[in-house]
């Protein structure tokens, strides 16, 4: 099996930054960083001690793998300009179909890290699930070996599975964090610190790690306590967005546990 040792990263944002450092820590060589914004490419390249470019035509041709960590809307367009038809090209998107890369190379796939990324927040990449796809069977062993060198949670998925996984991740991460923001806003309006909720958040997350989430649901909607729900809705009547969210989610919980009407 030919191993992947040399990598070019297309992109310079949060995912590109974290992957670049993870590859480097695993003893792999990042040859070059590409970005349409040359200063962004220069910055990440400086961290990785690699070359950089803002021109696809100037991509280093000696890499074993080209990782496209860019916005979903740009993937197909950039793939169409990829200069190497016989090089392994992958994207890191949760929602874009693998075939969006087929115009770029005869060898293509997906290297999707399922995690929320902030550029300056360190991650233990060993715990980050990596979801893989490969158009050619012959590229699967090298991709799996690469993924295993940085993560203990490697999973082969089809494009539709991965896209639904991304939908689930939006619920589990992005929507949950927005709920934290709503809770913080409500507390600020009444001169209360968000720190009061942190133990509750920690305990809820801990229980969700140990049991199916549906088994640990609590709260007035789970108990079908309509008087409490009505009282809360009354308290939120001056904030229509929060009122709608509270009512919709409460009704969804009630239906989930068999309380109708």
The residue extents of the domains of the chain are: 6-157, 163-256
**Is the CB of residue 135 less than 8 Å from the CB of residue 158?**
no
Q: Comparing 6-157 with 163-256, is the CATH topology the same?
A: no
Say which DSSP state 190 is in.
Answer: T
pLDDT of residue 18: 92
Q: Mean pLDDT in the chain?
A: 94
Which regions in the chain score pLDDT beneath 50? none
The architecture (CATH level 2) of 163-256 comes to: Orthogonal Bundle (1.10)
CATH of the domain spanning 6-157, picked from 3.40.50.720, 2.40.10.10, 2.60.120.10, 3.40.630.30: 3.40.50.720
Strands (E), the chain: 6-10, 29-34, 51-53, 65-68, 88-91, 107-113, 130-134, 154-156
Instruction: Kindly give, in sequence order, each residue whose CB lies less than 8 Å from that of residue 80, ignoring residues fewer than 6 positions away.
Output: 103, 104
pLDDT of residue 261: 65
pLDDT of residue 112: 95
Q: Which two tokens stand for residue 43?
A: 């910055």
Distance of CA 115 to the CA centre of its chain: 4
Q: Give the count of beta carbons closer than 10 Å to the beta carbon of residue 49.
A: 9
**Is the CB of residue 179 less than 8 Å from the CB of residue 201?**
no
**Helix (H) and strand (E) counts for the chain?**
9, 8
């Amino acid at each position: 099996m030919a191993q992947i040792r040399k990598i070019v990263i297309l992109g310079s944002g949060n995912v590109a930054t974290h992957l670049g450092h993870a590859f480097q820590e695993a003893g792999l060589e990042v040859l070059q960083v590409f970005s349409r914004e040359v200063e962004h490419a220069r910055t990440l390249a400086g961290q990785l001690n690699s070359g950089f470019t803002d021109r696809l035509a100037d991509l280093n041709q000696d890499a074993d793998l080209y990782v496209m960590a860019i916005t979903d809307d740009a993937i197909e367009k950039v793939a169409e300009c990829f200069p190497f038809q016989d090089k392994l090209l992958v994207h890191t998107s949760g929602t874009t179909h693998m075939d969006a890369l087929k115009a770029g190379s005869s060898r293509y796939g997906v290297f999707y890290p399922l995690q929320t990324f902030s550029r300056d927040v360190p991650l233990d990449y060993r715990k980050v699930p990596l979801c893989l796809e490969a158009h050619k069977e012959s590229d699967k062993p090298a991709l799996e070996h690469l993924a295993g060198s940085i993560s203990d949670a490697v999973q082969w998925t089809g494009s539709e599975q991965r896209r639904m996984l991304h939908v689930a991740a939006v619920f589990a991460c992005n929507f949950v964090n927005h709920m934290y923001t709503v809770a913080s806003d409500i507390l600020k309006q009444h001169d209360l610190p968000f720190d009061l909720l942190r133990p509750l958040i920690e305990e809820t997350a801990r229980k969700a790690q140990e049991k199916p989430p549906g088994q640990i649901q609590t709260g007035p909607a789970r108990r079908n306590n309509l008087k409490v729900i009505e009282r809360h809705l009354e308290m939120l009547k001056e904030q229509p967005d929060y009122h709608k969210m509270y009512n919709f989610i409460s009704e969804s919980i009630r239906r989930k546990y068999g309380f109708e009407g």
